[in-house]
Amino acid sequence: MMIRESQRQMDDAHFRQVVPAGDYFIHRIKAGETFRILDLEGNQAADTLFFNADDPAERYSFMDTTREQGNVYLSAGTVLMSNRGNPLLEIVADTCGRHDTLGGACASESNTVRYALDKRCMHSCRDSWMLAINRHDEFGLAKQDITHNINFFMNVPVTADGGLTFEDGISGAGKYVELEAKMDVTVLISNCPQLNNPCNGYNPTPIEVAIWSA
Ligand SMILES: [Zn+2]
């Protein structure tokens, strides 16, 4: 676990927004700005995608990121790499200690396969992302751009035999992760509505996002 606190104060942020449980957030972050996701009540999962704001075909790549840092977990010091090998953002502070990028996002299909046929219509991260890009076409994102993601605050340990498990969270109320943008990026978050596994303690809760100027 790598804990690194930030000196930034929420009152100094030039942008703040609470994202309710199960809702989405889409926004442009300029190069040099610092972006924080705050887990307001604890044990929440924020399923997040990043894109080059001017060319969404360049996007966050978990393969490039984990290969470059030689670690499957994300924490302070992690540089989030694009599929073209460019730094998108760097995690500059983190009071949770570890974030997942292997587990993927919940979807109607995975809820049906993993849990039950009657979970098909439950809200899911993938549906929230699709709703966001449909309502906000000014960001230029399409279905093909929805690929692998980061699950901030989510606890998905790799087991000794190489498997993955969705475990009870390690985050708590007031914990946060903070990232500095290395280029103009679009951020797309689904504040996970999942009710079938303990990724958010079976109780989805709001998060808050904040941005500080360069
Ligand atoms: Zn989800």
pLDDT in tens, 11-54: 999 999 999 999 999 999 999 999 999 999 998 999 999 999 99
State residue 119's pLDDT score: 75
139-177 burial: b if 16+ Cβ within 10 Å, else e = bebeeebbebbbbbbbbbbeeeeeeeebeebbbeeebbb
How many other CB atoms sit within 10 Å of the CB of residue 40? 16
The Å distance, Cα 7 to ligand 1 centre, comes to 30
How many angstroms separate the CA atoms of 53 and 137, rounded?
13
Alpha-carbon torsion (13, 101, 139, 22), positive or negative: negative
Tell me, in angstroms, the distance from the centre of ligand 1 to residue 194's CA: 5
Kindly report the backbone phi and psi dihedral angles of residue 60, in degrees, each rounded to the nearest multiple of 5, phi listed first. -55, 135
Average pLDDT, the chain: 93
Question: Ligand 1 centre from 166 Cα, in Å?
Answer: 12
Instruction: Check whether 1 has a pLDDT greater than 70.
Output: no
CA 12 / ligand 1 centre spacing (Å)? 30
Tell me what the mean pLDDT of segment 89-105 comes to: 95
Single-letter residue type at 171? S
Nearest to 14 by CA among 34, 37, 39, 32: 34
Q: How far is the CA of 45 from the centre of ligand 1 (A)?
A: 7
* pTM score, whole prediction: 0.95
CA–centroid distance, 160 to ligand 1, in Å, is 25
Q: How far is the CA of 100 from the centre of ligand 1 (A)?
A: 12
pLDDT bucket at 207, cuts 50 / 70 / 90: very high
